[in-house]
Amino acid sequence: MSWIQSSNYTNVAISATIMGVNTQTLTAYLTTQIGSTTTTANEIARATVAFPGWNNFTNVALLNIPNLPAGTYYLTLIANGDSNCTAQTNCSPGAWAGTSMPSVAAASGVTPNGSYYTPSNPGPGIAAYPPASSLNALITQSFLFNVMGSQ
């Protein structure tokens, strides 16, 4: 998921609507770019949180950032799955909710910049640094997330 903001924001809280096995975790990355040339130098913040369970999608707090300057940002979520999972097995530990009809409420100067996903089959899979994975634009859906802050 990505957005562009033309102003600085403080006390920024980022959350996403997810569900997953509550014994598993996911890592959220906020970066200034995605794709094969992305490195930790492009990282703004990172946090690992527990999935809330499989029964219902839940809005889960992911990142808190004291100051977020104007720029383009990408939120990448990666499930820290079961070590027994392979490309040949179906054992996803979690999911990020999406919608085909998003309702965007954005502050002046904030613009949505698309949703992206890593194709698992066929595809190169997840890179060692997940925001550096090969990503495709998600055209028919938008992932559900919230970014709140003060200008």
The CATH class given to the 2-150 domain equals mainly beta
- Letter string b/e over residues 108-139, b meaning 16 or more CB atoms within 10 A of that residue's CB: eebeeeebbbbeeeeeeebbebbbbbebeeee
Write out the chain's pLDDT in tens, 151 residues: 889 999 999 999 999 998 887 778 889 999 999 989 999 999 999 999 988 888 788 999 999 999 999 999 999 988 886 545 554 445 566 777 777 766 666 777 888 887 777 766 555 677 889 899 887 787 777 788 888 889 8
Q: How far apart are CA 8 and CA 13, in angstroms?
A: 14
- pTM exceeds 0.95: no
Which tokens is 146 given?
């919230």
Give domain limits for the chain: 2-150
Helix, coil or strand: residue 40: helix
Helix, coil or strand: residue 42: helix
Q: How far apart are CA 31 and CA 49, in angstroms?
A: 17
